[in-house]
Amino acid sequence: MTMSRIKAPPVARIGDPLAAVSTPALLIDLDAFDANVAAMAALAQRHAVALRPHAKAHKSSTIARHQVDAGAVGICCQKLSEAYPFISAGIRNIHISNEVVGPRKIEMAMDLAHQARISICVDHSAQVDALGKAAADANVFLTLLPEVDIGQGRCGVASTRDLLVLVERIARYDRLRFGGLQAYHGGIQHVASWEQRRVAADVAAEKAAQYVAYLDALGVPCPVVTGGGTGTVEFDMRTGVYTELQPGSYIFMDGHYGRNEWPGEWRSRQSLYIASTIMSTAKPGMAVCDVGLKGVAVDSGLPLVKPGQYEDVLQYVAANDEHGMLKIAAGGLQERLGDQLLLVPGHCDPTVNLYQQYICFRGHKVEDIWEIDARGLSQ
């Protein structure tokens, strides 16, 4: 039997009409995307805060380049391995907004620090010791940002005493530099009420401010306080606490963020969609599309049919592995076999991580195709 390598055809080609894309496909509406990139850059500039977008949301060096070209000081990554494609694409200012543990990770941190300006979070003195010794051996300088817990209850120290332990520990190592604080509260990003979200953001920022004031009183300057997300960014910018902000989802939006109220200074346009095709209409009142659990993350709700398309007629009601079940509203047309449907994912980050490429369209035409080159790099 011959072992010829044959490859699946491309999902789309530049210049194709959008309707010709092979589904499932992850789409970016470039008009909305460009507007989001520009609006967040302008917002940050208006409030004199540095913008360091979180690349964990898009995992694409092409998008990171767009963000840096629009004025971002660099990017955040959540994992060390995730940083490689961005460095390869010339982005050399990367904050790892997360703790790293274990010899393989320390090795990777040193490798990255040889290639780019890297900062990393710590919340335990053992992490400081491991990075400090490795940095000396590898002859690299590394910036560490202790993470402070400002309400999330996940990583990060929860007392000034524990913060001081870390700051003092960092000072023991010639090759380590204390760079400031990581202060992020993910749990408040999706508080639907704008007013409640504002209050929650202010409470969180006040906690961050207390850590800064504590260090300040000790004569330890805090050059960077980094945090914030898409849900709270308009409030975070006004606090005067954060020197830089890390929104990720703002370029895309999703169903979960879509349930927030946005009457204020920030509202993303929906730019991320999944193209799907109705591939079975054998059941009265139901249609089956080709996007299931392998094509959309459902942890934060099922996908929505794109507003203005069929959303009054079709509702995505259940996801199987490769099938999406759509309920057809009473009076809705049953015969839709082959119709292309655009879906708004419930949660952009883990949905993006399922795909290898963005099919970028403007109007009804495929304008570009961008690799999701950090997809799956979770180490």
Q: Which is nearer to its own copies, 315 or 353 (CB)?
A: 353
| Distance in Å, CB of 369 to its own copies, minimum | 14
Angle of the 30-46 helix axis to the 61-69 helix axis, nearest 10:
40
Q: Which is nearer to its own copies, 180 or 248 (CB)?
A: 248
Q: Which is nearer to its own copies, 236 or 290 (CB)?
A: 290
* Segment holding 15, helix H or strand E: none
Contacts of 69 (CB under 8 A, 6+ apart): none
| Distance in Å, CB of 366 to its own copies, minimum | 13
| Distance in Å, CB of 273 to its own copies, minimum | 15
DSSP code string of 188-229:
GTT-SSHHHHHHHHHHHHHHHHHHHHHHHHTT----EEEE--
Q: How many angstroms separate the CA atoms of 142 and 113, rounded?
A: 7
Q: How many angstroms separate the CA atoms of 65 and 53, rounded?
A: 11
| Distance in Å, CB of 339 to its own copies, minimum | 9
Q: Which is nearer to its own copies, 47 or 375 (CB)?
A: 375
| Distance in Å, CB of 359 to its own copies, minimum | 11
| Distance in Å, CB of 379 to its own copies, minimum | 5
| Distance in Å, CB of 259 to its own copies, minimum | 18
- Which among 250, 256, 210, 204 is positioned nearest to 227, based on CA atoms? 204
Locate the DSSP E strands across the chain. Answer: 25-29, 50-51, 75-77, 93-99, 117-122, 142-146, 176-178, 180-183, 224-227, 244-245, 272-280, 286-289, 304-305, 314-319, 324-328, 340-344, 357-362, 365-371
Number of Cβ atoms within 10 Å of the Cβ of 75:
28
Q: Which is nearer to its own copies, 268 or 276 (CB)?
A: 276
Written as six digits, the tokens of 374 are 């950090």
Q: Contact at 8 Å (CB) between 287 and 294? A: no
Q: Which is nearer to its own copies, 52 or 375 (CB)?
A: 375
Strand partners, 287: 326
Q: How many angstroms separate the CA atoms of 245 and 72, rounded?
A: 10
| Distance in Å, CB of 82 to its own copies, minimum | 8
Q: Which is nearer to its own copies, 270 or 276 (CB)?
A: 276
Strand partners, 197: none
Q: Which is nearer to its own copies, 26 or 49 (CB)?
A: 26
